[in-house]
Chain A
Amino acid sequence: MNYVISNRTRNIFFGLMIVGLASIIYGAVTLNPFGEGHNTTRFWANMFINSFFFMAISLAATFFMAVQYIGQSGWYSAIKRVFEGVSQYIFVGAGIFALVLAGGGHHLYHWQHEGIMDPASPHYDEIIAGKSGFLNLPFFWIATIIYLVGWCAFTWVFRKRSIEEDTIGGTTNHMKNYFMAAWFVVFFAVSSSTSAWHWILSIDTHWFSTMFGWYIFAGMFISGLITIVLFTVYLKSKGFLPGVNENHLHDIGKFMFAFSVFWTYIWFSQFMLIWYANIPEEVTYYLARFESYKGLMLANIAINFVFPFFMLMMRDAKRHAGILAFVGSIIFLGHWSDMFIIVMPGTVGEKLHYGIMEIGTFMFFLGLFLFIVHRSLTKAPTEPKNHPFLEESLHHHI
């Protein structure tokens, strides 16, 4: 059974995209993306947050699928197409993200300013120049292309073989994907950390944290899980996932609960060591955030930890589609705002604005993401036919 987008849903997505695009154009006119200064940075920072956030969600879906392949797990095969559908955004997302990186340039990354690594220049910064082995433009771009192309290629191959499996059957394709998944996890283990250093940690150029790759990964993974839960609940309510019952929801609900706690654990570990040691060059990161983003910062912990922790603690809550969808949509926004806090203080700085640009960019990318994921869900049956563990998944019971 193939998913069909109803006209009403499609209109909602286009509505989101049109309103969002109008706000981005309005932002481009008022903030001038090709100029210099604070407004230009604000434009690119917004584009960066949203293009990264949604690309990371689809990357997390690919990663989760690869982990299931390696674990030879059976329970997930009834909702496998949801994972695949979410992962398909990466082709568009990676393209947009590369454009944003190119356009953002030194507006996002202080170390990309001209002359900052040149001792003769008035902009010379000794600390940044000392990091030039890692932070230089050729390496930055080569690495970016390797990450993006690598992730896209793996996602494409997983998807292609999975759809092929529906027609040819057997376990050949499954085993091919199994080996491929092992390679992907090795690649992802390195690239998820190094890409976080390249793209996000280097925004706060002077600062460094050895936990940063994990932190970005945790946020990415939990956002991806929430998206998968929301799509599963939605498709099930429309009757496109007849084999999915509350046991499957319970399993992804447990993942959602566990990785909310994992995210908090990573967030707090990073914070506590810096808070305890109180070394000036480390503390600046949290000082900037607690001075100008205090409300958002504390709300972030409350929404992303306390709220799901108590809401999803009960077994029955994790088996209830309505509660999962409600909690999921709220912590989805929570993790978006986490991304906002990661990027904004290092780029735009203290003079923070919430305006049409912030809301509109989010709406545009949300609309685009939803549209592409829904469209890729229509392209293949919502339940795989010949997955070797499908029978196990249909009888999944916990």
Chain B
Amino acid sequence: MSEVKYNPSIIYGIFDDDDDLLQSAKVFRANRISVANVYSPFPIHGIDPVIGHKRTNVSVAAFVFGATGFSLAVLMIWYMLISDWPINVGGKPNWTFAANFPAFVPVLFESTVFCAAHGMSITYLLLNRLLPGFNPRNPDPRSTDDKFIMEINMSDNWDAKYDEVVYLLKQTGASEIKER
């Protein structure tokens, strides 16, 4: 069946330099070809608006995780030290939460930070599919070392031609092109 033209669905352009990749992404945007994703060993400053990635709502998640940690700690302290078994520490009044509040602040603080930090880490790993058992989305392990990879999804760019994309990638300095 050799009459079907070879038509890969995803094209990867591999760059040696992050700045080349940034300039290349700008060229693609100018040519109305959308870049699906970029894989890089470190964050490339200013790439998000170029490839059309919006700010994530992770900060809202952080607040929610922190608030959860705070509430859980309030519940825990109230049950343990006020409701179930009031403990006399230093002869202070120990039958209300408010009267002992200063002693609880370090616990509340630590619990808030603990939940926010762990919640954020797990959310990050989930969003990026990095937990054990997930298939890695990274197309080439060298992108964790010294290569910068731009992913162009041909199904997003139905009016762009394969040759055009490859030509632009080569023109803008891609050292290697992979297809899938």
Q: Say whether A315 contacts B59, CB under 8 Å.
A: yes
Closest to B46 in A: A397
Which of chain B's residues 55-69 have a Cβ closer than 8 Å to chain A?
59, 63
Bound CA span A278–B103, Å: 12
Name the B residues within 8 Å of A314 (CB-CB). Answer: 59
> Which of chain A's residues 277-295 have a Cβ closer than 8 Å to chain B?
277-278
Residues in B neighbouring A277, C-beta threshold 8 A: 90
Distance of A167 Cα from B120 Cα, bound (Å): 50
Say whether B92 faces chain A, with CB atoms less than 8 Å apart: yes
A276 to B101, CA, bound (A): 11
Considering only CB atoms, which chain B residue lies closest to A397 in the complex?
Answer: B46
Q: B45 an interface residue at 8 Å Cβ cutoff? A: yes
Q: Is B102 an interface residue (CB 8 A)?
A: yes
Q: Let me know if B63 and A272 touch, CB within 8 A.
A: no
Band of interface residues on A: 10 to 19
Interface string of B81-122 (1 = CB under 8 A from A): 000000000111000000000110110000000000000000
CB proximity of A273 to chain B, nearest CB, Å: 10
Q: Are B102 and A397 in touch, CB under 8 angstroms?
A: no
Cross-chain contact A272 with B59 (CB below 8 angstroms): no
Asked whether, in the complex, the Cβ of B103 is within 8 Å of the Cβ of A276, the reply is yes
Min Cβ gap B141→A in Å is: 30
Residues of chain B with a CB closer than 8 A to A272's CB: 102-103, 105-106
With contacts A268-B105, A272-B105 taken as known, whether A278 is within 8 angstroms of B90 at the C-beta atoms is yes
Taking the nearest CB of chain A, how far is it from the CB of B115, in angstroms?
A: 16
Chain B residues within 8 Å of A271, by CB: 102
Give every chain A residue within 8 A of B91 (Cβ-Cβ): 278
Given A313-B63, A315-B59, are A275 and B46 also a contact pair (CB < 8 Å)?
no
Quote the shortest CB–CB distance from A83 to chain B (angstroms).
26
Closest B residue by C-beta to A265: B109
With A315-B59, A397-B45 known to touch, is A278 a contact of B105 (CB < 8 Å)?
Answer: no
In Å, the complex CA distance between A278 and B91 comes to: 9
For B102, the chain A residues whose CB sits under 8 A away are 268, 271-272, 275-276
Which residues of chain B come closer than 8 Å to A278, judged between CB atoms?
Answer: 90-92
The answer on a CB contact under 8 Å between B46 and A276 is: no
- Distance (Å) between the CB of B18 and the closest chain A CB? 16
Chain A's closest residue to B62 (CB) is A313
A315 to B55, CA, bound (A): 11
Complex Cα distance, B103 from A397, in Å, reads 42
- Taking CB atoms, residues of chain A closer than 8 Å to B105 are 268, 272
CA gap between A81 and B106 in the complex, in Å? 40
For chain A, residues 237 to 295, give those with C-beta under 8 angstroms from any C-beta of chain B: 268, 271-272, 275-278
Which residue among B63, B102, B103 has the maximum number of chain A CB atoms within 10 Å of its CB? B102
B residues in contact with A268, CB < 8 Å: 102, 105
Residues of A within 8 Å of B59, CB to CB, are 314-315
Distance A277 CA – B89 CA, assembled complex (angstroms): 10
Q: Closest Cβ of chain A: how far from B62's Cβ, in Å?
A: 10
Residue from A276, A313, A315 in contact with B90 in the complex, judged by beta carbons closer than 8 Å? A276
Complexed CA–CA distance, A315 and B57 (Å): 11
- Chain A residue numbers with a CB within 8 Å of B63 are 313
With A and B bound together, what is the CA distance between A272 and B108 in angstroms?
14
Report the bound CA distance from A56 to B45 in whole Å. 37
Q: How far is the CB of B180 from chain A (nearest CB, A)?
A: 34
Query: Smallest CB–CB gap between A52 and chain B, Å?
Result: 28
B106: A residues at CB distance < 8 A: 272
Question: B46 — which chain A residues lie within 8 A by C-beta?
Answer: 397
Query: How many Å lie between the Cα of A276 and that of B103 in the bound state?
Result: 7
Residue ranges of B at the interface with A (Cβ–Cβ < 8 Å): 45-46, 59, 63, 90-92, 102-103, 105-106
Q: Report which A residues bind B (CB closer than 8 A).
A: 268, 271-272, 275-278, 313-315, 397
Q: Taking A271-B102, A276-B103, A278-B91 as given, write out 9 further A-B residue pairs in contact, using a Cβ cutoff of 8 Å, ordered by the A residue number.
A: A268-B102, A272-B103, A272-B106, A276-B90, A276-B102, A278-B90, A314-B59, A315-B59, A397-B45
Interchain residue pairs A-B with the least CB separation, the first 10: A272-B102, A275-B102, A278-B90, A268-B105, A276-B90, A276-B103, A397-B46, A315-B59, A272-B105, A271-B102
Interchain residue pairs with CB less than 8 A apart (12):
A268-B102, A268-B105, A271-B102, A272-B102, A272-B103, A272-B105, A275-B102, A276-B90, A276-B102, A278-B91, A278-B92, A397-B46
